[in-house]
Amino acid sequence: MKKNIGIIGYGNLGRGVALALQKTPDMALAAVFTRRDPASITPLGGALSLPLTEAPSWRDKIDVMILCGGSATDLPTQTVEYAAWFNVVDSFDTHARIPEHFTAVDTAAQASGHLALISAGWDPGMFSLNRLYANAILPEGSDYTFWGRGVSQGHSDAIRRIPGVRNAKQYTVPVESALEAVRAGKRPELNTRQKHTRECFVVLEPDADAAAVEQTIKTMPNYFADYDTTVHFISEEEFHANHGGMAHGGTVFRSGLTGSNAEHTHVIEYRLTLDSNPEFTGSVLTACARAVCRMAAAGRQGCLTLFDVPPAYLSPLSGEELRRTLL
Amino acid sequence: MKKNIGIIGYGNLGRGVALALQKTPDMALAAVFTRRDPASITPLGGALSLPLTEAPSWRDKIDVMILCGGSATDLPTQTVEYAAWFNVVDSFDTHARIPEHFTAVDTAAQASGHLALISAGWDPGMFSLNRLYANAILPEGSDYTFWGRGVSQGHSDAIRRIPGVRNAKQYTVPVESALEAVRAGKRPELNTRQKHTRECFVVLEPDADAAAVEQTIKTMPNYFADYDTTVHFISEEEFHANHGGMAHGGTVFRSGLTGSNAEHTHVIEYRLTLDSNPEFTGSVLTACARAVCRMAAAGRQGCLTLFDVPPAYLSPLSGEELRRTLL
C-alpha cells in the first residue's frame, strides 16, 4: 500500500516533488493544494488539484504533506499551521532563522501529535549533513562552503528592483583558485571577495542609463559591494534564450588535521552539480517524506531535521538490502 | 563525566583511534588491550596497556570497546566475542562478508544486551553513507567508486609473496579521464581497466630476475591481470625514503537523472584526500563510539551500521548547537 503524499504550492519546487514521486515504489502523489485556481493546475500522474482551504479535510487521507512555498513569507506560517493536521516536510532555507522556525514547528507538531522535518534540500540539507559528518570526524579543521555556478534568486530580484531594469539574472560563481587551494589542503583564510564573484545579465528599459545601473548594482550594500561583480547588458531575446535555466550547485569542504603534531591533513569534499535546482531539492524532500512516514509510524513526534534521521530511513530498500548492496 | 573507551589491538589503526580520542571533550582512552607484551606498548595520554586476556574483567569500566584488528582473521571472531561483554565498534571491511558478520555480531549483542556498530571507516563507512544518501535522492542513475591514489595492502602483500621480491608497495590510481567523464555527467560505462591503474614499487633480492618478477606481477589473476600495471624496481633506500606513507582516498559519485524525460543530470561527488588512512579511519571509529554510547543509553541493542545512526549522535554538539551552526 503506497503512502499518500500531498503537496502545498505547485511552483517549480512542487513540480520537482511531483516528478520525484513518479520514481518512488512506495509513495504516490494524492493531491496538490493551491492558492491559485485549482482548475489552472494539472498535477503530474493524475493527482487531484484542490483549493488550499480544503487541505484540513484531507487530514486522514494524507500521510505526509510536503510544503513547497517560499521561505520568506510562506513557510514560517504554513509549516506551523499544517503541522496541526499533518506530518509535514519543508525546505525552509533562511539559515539565520532556522532555530526559531524549528521551535515554532516543534511546538505545533508536539501539540497535534505529528512529525515535522524542516530545512531539507541541499543547503540547508545535504550540505549541512556533510558539514556535520565532517566536523564530527575531524574536530580540528576548517569548513568551507562554495555555491555555484548558479542563479541566486535574491540577487536577481534585487537587480530587478533598480529603476531602468526590465529583467535580470545573477549568477554566483565560486573563485576557482580558492576552490583549488582548499582542495589542496592549504586551509586558506578567505574573505567574501576571495570566495565568490557575481555575474549579472541585465535587460534594460529602452531609455535606461546603463552606466548608472551598473554603478548601482556594483555598489549595492550586502548584495554586491563586497564582491567582484561583472554586469552584462543583453537583449530580451538573449535573456530568454540563454538564461532560463535553473542549474545550481556548490561544494562543501572540511580540511582537518590529525596526528601527534597535527602533521596530517585530510580534505573531505562534497560537491553537487545540478541541472535543475528545484528538481533536485524536490527529490530530497521526497526522500525525507519517506523517512517521516517511518519515524511517525514508530511514534516520533515534534520537529526534526536531517541531522536526526537515520540514513536508512530515506531509502526504499530494507536494511539487509542496503548492507548487501551499498555498504 | 567522560565516557571510557577501550581499544583492542594497538597497530596503526589503534594509534589512530588513540590520537582521535585526544581531541574529544566527552570521551577518554581508558586502556589498550593487546596480544603482545603489554610492557612493549605505551598508549597515548597515559592510558593503561593490558593483556587481552584481562579485557573481560573490564566489562563494567569500559563504555565502548573499539576493535582495531584486521578484517581477514581478527574481527570475524573478535567482534562477536567481545560483544558478549562490551558495546563494540569495528571497521570490518570485507564487503562481500558484511551480511554474515552483521548477523553473527547481532546475535551476540542481542544475547548480551549490548550495542555493536560494524564496518565503520571510509569504505565501508563514509563512502557507503554517500552511496545511500545519493541513491535515496536520485533513484534513477549510476554509481561510481574510485579509490586512490593510495596504497593497497592486499596487493602489496601479493607482490611480496613472489620469489625474488624483498619488499613492495602497490598504489591504486584512478584514471583521471574516467573521473572527469563521470564528473561531467556523461555516465560512462567503465570496465575494471578503465577505472584504475596499478603502480608497483618493488625491491628485488640481489639475484632476482627482474623481467620474470614483472611478468609474474602483471599477469597475476584477480590482482593485476585486469589492470594496466606499471612496475618500478627501486633500491631498499628509496623504498624506505619515499614509500612509507599511508596516504589514501577516493571518490564516490552518483550521476542521476530527473525531469519528465530524464532531461536533467545531477552529479553528486564525495571525495576524500587523506594523508593518513589509519588516522582518518580511527577518527571515524571514535565518532561512532560516541553514537554507540548514546544509542546504548537510549536502550538500543544488537548490531548497527552507520546507515542506522542519526548523524547528530556522532557529534559532541547539542541538537540546538548543530542547527544553529551547521544546518
Mean pLDDT by 10 residues, chain B (327 residues): 97 97 97 97 94 97 97 95 98 95 98 98 97 98 96 91 96 97 97 96 96 97 95 97 93 98 97 97 98 98 98 98 97
Cα distances (Å, whole numbers) of residue A325 to B88, B102, B114, B129, B285: 24, 14, 26, 12, 22
pLDDT band at A278 (very low <50, low <70, confident <90, very high): very high
- CA-based nearest distance B135→chain A, Å: 7
Q: Does B12 touch chain A (CB under 8 A)?
A: no
DSSP state of B43: -
Q: Coil, strand, or helix at residue B42? A: coil
| Nearest-neighbour CA in chain B from A73: distance (Å) | 20
* pLDDT score of A45: 86
Contact B137 A265 (CB under 8 A): no
- Rounded CA separation A88/A6 (Å): 9
Q: How far apart are the first and last CA of chain B?
A: 28
For chain B, how many residues are written? 327
Residues of A in contact with B309 (CB under 8 A): 310-311
Residue pLDDT, tens place only, A194-230: 999 999 999 999 999 999 999 999 999 989 999 999 9
Q: Cα B249 to the chain's mean position, in Å?
A: 10
On average, the pLDDT of chain A sits at: 97
Is B322 in CB contact (< 8 Å) with chain A?
yes
Q: CA A138 to CA A130: how far, in whole Å?
A: 12
Question: How far is the C-alpha of B76 from the C-alpha of B74, rounded, in Å?
Answer: 6
**Type of residue at A27:** M
Q: Which of A128, A265, A308 sits opposite B310 (nearest CB)?
A: A308
How far lies A285's CA from each of A19, A50, A225, B190, B268, in Å? Answer: 12, 21, 34, 31, 16
Specify the DSSP class assigned to residue A116: E
Q: Which ranges of chain B would DSSP assign to H, the alpha helix?
A: 12-21, 75-82, 98-112, 126-137, 153-160, 176-183, 192-195, 210-218, 236-242, 277-297, 319-325
Q: Rounded to an integer, what distance in angstroms lies between the CA atom of residue B213 and that of residue B205?
A: 11
Q: Which residues pair with B303 in a beta bridge?
A: B116
Query: Residue B145 in 3-state DSSP?
Result: strand
Question: Which amino acid is residue A155, in one-letter code?
Answer: H
Q: How far apart are CA A174 and CA A171, in angstroms?
A: 10
Strand partners, A204: A165
Residue A234 to residue A159: CA distance in whole angstroms: 14
Q: Which positions 178-207 of B are in contact with A (Cβ < 8 Å)?
A: 183, 185
Distance CA A210, CA A192 (A): 26
Contact (Cβ atoms closer than 8 angstroms) between residue A16 and residue B258: yes
* DSSP structural state of residue B276: B
The answer to whether the beta carbons of residues A155 and A220 sit under 8 Å apart is no
CA atoms of B265 and A266, how far apart (whole Å): 29
Question: Do the Cβ atoms of B136 and A315 come within 8 Å?
Answer: yes
Q: Give the residue among A112, A109, A100, A90 at the shortest CA–CA distance from A306.
A: A90
**Interchain CB contact of B244 with A (< 8 Å):** no
Cβ contacts of A175-181, under 8 Å, gap ≥ 24: A178/A146, A179/A146, A179/A251
Phi/psi of residue B47, each to 5°?
A: -70, 160
- Mean pLDDT over A260-288 rounds to 97
**Beta carbons of B199 and B230 less than 8 angstroms apart:** yes
Report helix, strand or coil for B300: coil
pTM > 0.80: yes or no: yes
Exposed/middle/buried for residue B230 (C-beta within 10 Å: 0-12, 13-18, 19+): middle
User: Which of B253, B266, B290 should one mutate to test binding to chain A, selecting the residue with the greatest count of A CBs within 10 A?
Assistant: B266
Establish whether the linkage from the previous residue to A149 is cis, with ω within 30° of 0.
Answer: yes
Determine the residue among B258, B274, B318 to mutate to test chain A binding: the one whose Cβ has the most chain A Cβ atoms within 10 Å.
Answer: B258
Residue pLDDT, tens place only, A60-96:
999 999 999 999 899 999 999 999 999 999 999 999 9
pLDDT digits (tens, 9 = 90+) for A118-141: 999 999 999 999 999 999 999 999
Closest to A90 measured CA to CA, from A275, A28, A106, A300: A106
The sign of the torsion formed by the CA atoms of B171, B172, B177, B182 equals: negative
Nearest 5°: CA angle at A218, between A94 and A160? 60
pLDDT at residue A177 tops 90: yes
| Position A153 confidence tier, pLDDT thresholds 50, 70, 90 | confident
Query: Among all chains, which residue has been given the C-alpha cell 508536539?
Result: A110
Rounded to whole angstroms, how far apart are CA atoms B160 and A220? 65
Q: Write down the pLDDT at residue B319.
A: 97
Burial state string for B48-60 with b = 16 or more CB within 10 A and e = fewer than 16: ebbebeebeebee
Are B23 and A305 inside 8 Å of each other by CB?
no
User: Between chains, do A326 and B287 touch, taking CB under 8 Å as contact?
Assistant: no
| B276-296 per-residue burial string, b: 16 or more CB within 10 A, e: under 16 | bbbbbbbbbbbbbbbbbbbbb
C-alpha cell read off for B4: 571510557
- What spatial distance separates the first Cα and last Cα of chain A, rounded to whole Å? 28
- Which residues of chain A from 73 to 102 reach within 8 Å of chain B, CB to CB? 95, 98-99, 102
pLDDT for residue A133: 98
Burial (CB count within 10 angstroms: exposed 0-12, middle 13-18, buried 19+), residue A112: middle
Type of residue numbered A182:
V
Give the whole-angstrom CA distance, residue B299 versus residue B294.
Answer: 9
| pLDDT at A17 exceeding the cut of 90 | yes
Cα–Cα distance for residue pair A84/A113, rounded to 1 Å: 8
Q: Are strands B264-274 and B248-258 parallel, antiparallel or unpaired?
A: antiparallel
Q: Is A24 in Cβ contact with B185 (below 8 Å)?
A: no
Express the helix, strand and coil content of chain B in percent, nearest 5 each: 40, 30, 30
Which pLDDT value is given to residue A225?
Answer: 95
Is it the case that residue A269 has pLDDT exceeding 90? yes
CB crowding A169-183: b at 16 or more within 10 Å, else e: bbbbbbbeebbebbb
